[in-house]
Amino acid sequence: MTQPFAKPWYRILYVQVLFAVAIGVFVGALWPDLGKSLKPLGDGFIKLVKVLIAPIIFCTVVHGIASIGDLKRLGRVGIKTIVYFEVVSTLALLIGLLVVNWLQPGRGIAYDPTQVDARSALVVANQAKDLGPVDFFLNIIPKTFLDAFVTGDLLQVLLLSVLTAFGLIALKERGKPILNGLERVAETFFAIMAIIVQVAPIGAFGAMAFTVGAFGLAVLGDLLFLMVAFYLTTAVFIFVVLGLILRLCGLSLVQYLLVIREEIFLVLGTSSSETALPGMMKKLQLMGCSPGTVGLVIPTGYSFNLDGTNIYLTMAIVFLAQATGTTLGCLEQMGILFLAMLTSKGASGVTGAGFITLAATLQAVPSIPLESLALLLGIDRFMSEGRALTNLIGNGVATLVISFWEGENPHTEPDLLQPEGF
């Protein structure tokens, strides 16, 4: 039988975050200047969380992989993970392409990029020029061991974690004291994170007040159709595609979403899926996924399984083509799909990665004016919530699926639904 709530509803973290978001919208809409001045609250909270992400991932991945001790099983899990990522990510790209062609949200806008100040958009485009595939793979290798932790690049941290885990496996019994020590260190970082997330409502309030104050609700007017189409597409992807995938594994999408509801509202308030990463890793282990599976799938997914970003990419590019009167044939759109499969993995660890990845992809489509990016610049913050939420939910589903394939019997039972916060 489900136990009664352990604390009043107003002390539940996700409820506090939800109220903070609502108050932030109210303040930003009525007092824009005040809302813009509250930006440091959101930035400060995100920086606090990011300080702990790299060491938490390192300790968790090293302990999880080294505890497995079976390199054959590790290789099997890695192959399954990459195959799953590629199939589901491609499906997300394809769904975005089909929906934007069906609804045509950019039709009738008649946008002339030569008549607007597109300097901000071109700055983003120049920032995206270095996101080629060769640079991406070379960037996985840090300059020094500690450099990965300084920059916070998740792929670099993941690479060092895997190498360290292999080293501990090679040491066998001599590596066990280090392994036990890393487990205690990880517990310490999670305890620190539990303290930091208590101020999540303040961070969410500041971030939302700044967004509405800086860009205003009026910016949503002309582009509201695109936003509604994007959010409907992500909802269909989550509840139909991901829901069906979980059902095939004998799991419930609704129960899974209830278990991670604190992380969902945290992402909603901060527009960053990284803020929920430590909480997701802890929740997935509570759901029965082994530390090794969680440590390998989740960090990798943050670079290779960006379902929300993929949906946004194809929808945004075709939208800009429609808005500028650019005709894209079937073959051109399929080329964009395959191009996005590469570029969606090229902006890992970059702030505003979704928009920067869009700029990188658009540069390879010369028929669409690069200056048209300015059309989406104002609403990108509002779109980022959908991207981050879908990325978060998709990576959790991927972990549960890989765990199911490995016979770990993950579950989303009602006893996990108690609102204990982080």
Tally of structural domains, the chain: 1
For 74-108, write each residue's pLDDT tens digit. Answer: 778 888 888 898 899 889 988 988 988 888 877 76
User: Average per-residue pLDDT in the chain?
Assistant: 78
Q: Which residue has the higher pLDDT, 370 or 202?
A: 202
* Residue 262: predicted pLDDT: 84
Integer Cα distance of 381 and 212 in angstroms: 9
Phi-psi region of 132 (alpha: psi -120 to 50; beta: other; left: phi over 0): beta
State pTM to two decimals: 0.76
Q: Which CATH number do you get for residue 268? A: 1.10.3860.10
Residues 6 or more apart in contact with residue 17 via CB below 8 angstroms:
200, 201, 204, 262, 265, 266, 268, 269
Residues 123-132 as b/e (b if ≥16 CB within 10 A, e otherwise) read ebbebbeebe
Q: How far, in Å, CA of 200 to CA of 269, rounded? A: 8
> Would residue 238 count as lying in a domain?
yes
In a domain, 251, yes or no: yes
142-201 pLDDT, tens digit each: 888 888 888 777 778 878 888 888 888 888 788 888 888 888 888 888 888 878 878 888
2 is a domain residue = no
C-alpha R_g of the chain: 21
| Domain membership flag for residue 3 | no
DSSP string for residues in 42-77: HHHHHHHHHHHHHHHHHHHHHHHHHHH--HHHHHHH
Q: What is the pLDDT of residue 234?
A: 93
Alpha helices of 216-324 — where are they, by DSSP H? Answer: 220-236, 243-248, 253-259, 261-270, 277-286, 291-304, 307-323
Q: What is the pLDDT of residues 16-75, one digit of tens each?
A: 877 888 888 888 888 888 888 888 888 888 788 778 878 887 887 787 777 766 667 777
Per the CB < 8 A criterion, the answer to whether 375 and 265 are in contact is no
φ, ψ for residue 383, nearest 5 deg: -75, -25
Provide mean pLDDT across the span 267-294: 82
Residue 207 maps to a domain: yes
Burial of 305 (0-12, 13-18, 19+ CB in 10 A): buried
Asked if pLDDT for residue 274 goes beyond 90, the answer is no
pLDDT band at residue 257 under the 50/70/90 scheme: very high
128 within domain boundaries: yes
**What is the C-alpha separation between 106 and 361, in angstroms, rounded?**
18
pLDDT digits over 374-397, tens only?
677 667 777 878 888 898 999 999
Per-residue pLDDT, averaged over 213-239, amounts to 80
In a domain, 4, yes or no: no
pLDDT digits (tens, 9 = 90+) for 312-366: 888 888 888 887 777 777 777 777 777 777 666 644 444 456 666 777 677 667 6
Residue 378: predicted pLDDT: 62
- pLDDT higher at 267 or 414: 267
Name the residue range of residue 311's domain.
9-416
Which residues are CB-neighbours of 247 under 8 A, at least 6 positions away? 253
Structural tokens at position 210: 């700044």
The whole-number pLDDT of residue 109 equals: 66
Residue 260 lies in a domain: yes
